[in-house]
């Protein structure tokens, strides 16, 4: 046994290690003005859960709701979510730009604007997530009631998060949208980038392993199964050999398309309206409307 083992971690070691760790950490984060105030992942998750209980009261948050009190419950919960959102968005603006949180009046103003505009769009999000529940109910023979979809469907959970995140993405908020979709990903294994544009009545069944990229466009009444990837084929590099950011590079999936489990669709190609893409299919070229693509069976 070594000497260290006999006596426990030596004091000198701990101090030395800590000083080295601190040096490394400073390089990484570049604290502005000597003080970094970051968005809090825990706070963001709480906001999303408050919004989920606004969209589905009784199913999430409180379990016991009287019709007369619904008004108050929704108002108080929404207000709490908006307050939290304004704070976290303000932190995100400041930290993203490496501004001093307390000095950046622009960050404060922008976060107020975002909270107000988010509020203005809340009804539309409610409409969309309710349409998603309808799509689940109609699309899944194992589903006996809409309640079950709301309580227990990973697809509903993940798409609700993405619709919230997408709205914030459109409003120009950095960092927070990714935290929101990543949270859905940890819960469901469904990873949809906040940038993806998704129509109404979207249904993902089972869902583990689904990946939808940043510039994907998905029409109305689309259905995906587990393990589907809507990804980028490859991406052009700039002169230093780094990937060029911000180019449309993911599929466009038109209305009424169904994509079965494990299918991989790569690149800025169009999957025509009403098409059906079979399980495990590997696809990098566009397909016309109403196509049926399948992979050969193994025997």
User: Any contact of residue 17 with a second copy (CB under 8 A)?
Assistant: yes
Window 124-143: residues binding a second copy (CB under 8 A): 126-127, 130, 133, 138-143
User: Any contact of residue 292 with a second copy (CB under 8 A)?
Assistant: no
User: Any contact of residue 248 with a second copy (CB under 8 A)?
Assistant: no
User: Any contact of residue 170 with a second copy (CB under 8 A)?
Assistant: no
Write down the residue that tokens 């309808």 correspond to. 134
Phi/psi at 57 (nearest 5 deg)?
Answer: -65, 140
Q: The sheet that has 197-198: what strands, in order across it?
A: 197-198, 217-218, 252-253, 270-271
User: Any contact of residue 95 with a second copy (CB under 8 A)?
Assistant: yes
Distance in angstroms (rounded) separating the CA atoms of residues 233 and 213: 11
CB environment 171-190: b (16+ within 10 A), e (fewer)? bebebbbbbbbbbbbeebbb
CB 209, min distance to a second copy, A: 5
Stretch that binds a second copy, among 102-110, 216-224, 267-275 (CB under 8 A): 102-110
CB 219, min distance to a second copy, A: 19
Contacts 24+ apart (CB under 8 A), 216-220: 216/250, 216/251, 216/252, 216/253, 217/250, 217/251, 217/252, 217/253, 218/253, 219/253, 219/254, 219/255, 219/256, 219/257, 219/273, 220/255, 220/256
Window 253-272: residues binding a second copy (CB under 8 A): 261-262, 264, 266
Q: Which of 52, 56, 198, 267 binds a second copy (CB under 8 A)?
A: 56
CB 124, min distance to a second copy, A: 10
CB 197, min distance to a second copy, A: 15
Distance in angstroms (rounded) separating the CA atoms of residues 184 and 201: 19
**Interface mask (CB under 8 A) for a second copy, residues 188-227, using x and -?**
xx-x-x-x----------x-xx-x-xx----------xxx
CB 296, min distance to a second copy, A: 8
């Amino acid at each position: 046994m070594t000497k260290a083992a006999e006596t426990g971690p030596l004091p000198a070691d701990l101090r030395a290690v800590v000083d080295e760790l601190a040096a490394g950490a400073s390089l990484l984060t570049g604290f502005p003005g000597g003080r970094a105030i970051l968005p809090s992942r825990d706070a963001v998750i709480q906001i999303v859960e408050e919004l989920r209980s606004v969209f589905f009261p009784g199913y999430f948050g409180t379990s016991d709701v009287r019709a007369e009190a619904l008004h108050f419950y929704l108002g108080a919960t929404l207000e709490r979510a908006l307050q939290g959102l304004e704070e976290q968005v303000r932190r995100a603006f400041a930290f993203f730009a490496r501004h001093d949180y307390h000095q950046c009046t622009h960050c404060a103003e922008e976060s107020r604007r975002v909270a107000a505009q988010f509020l203005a769009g809340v009804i539309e999000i409610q409409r969309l997530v309710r349409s998603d529940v309808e799509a689940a109910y109609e699309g899944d023979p194992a589903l006996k009631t809409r309640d079950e979809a709301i309580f227990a469907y990973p697809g509903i959970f993940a798409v609700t998060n993405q619709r919230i995140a997408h709205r914030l993405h459109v409003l120009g908020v950095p960092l927070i949208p990714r935290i929101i979709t990543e949270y859905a990903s940890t819960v469901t294994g469904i990873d949809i980038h906040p940038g993806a544009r998704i129509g109404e009545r979207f249904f993902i069944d089972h869902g583990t392993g689904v990946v939808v990229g940043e510039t994907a466009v998905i029409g109305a009444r689309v259905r995906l199964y587990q393990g589907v990837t809507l990804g980028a084929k490859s991406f052009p590099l700039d002169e230093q050999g780094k990937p060029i950011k911000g180019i449309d590079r993911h599929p466009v999936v038109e209305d009424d398309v169904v994509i079965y489990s494990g299918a991989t669709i790569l690149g800025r190609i169009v999957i025509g309206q009403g098409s059906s893409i079979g399980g495990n299919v590997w696809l990098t070229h566009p397909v016309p409307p109403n196509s049926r693509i399948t992979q050969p069976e193994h025997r």
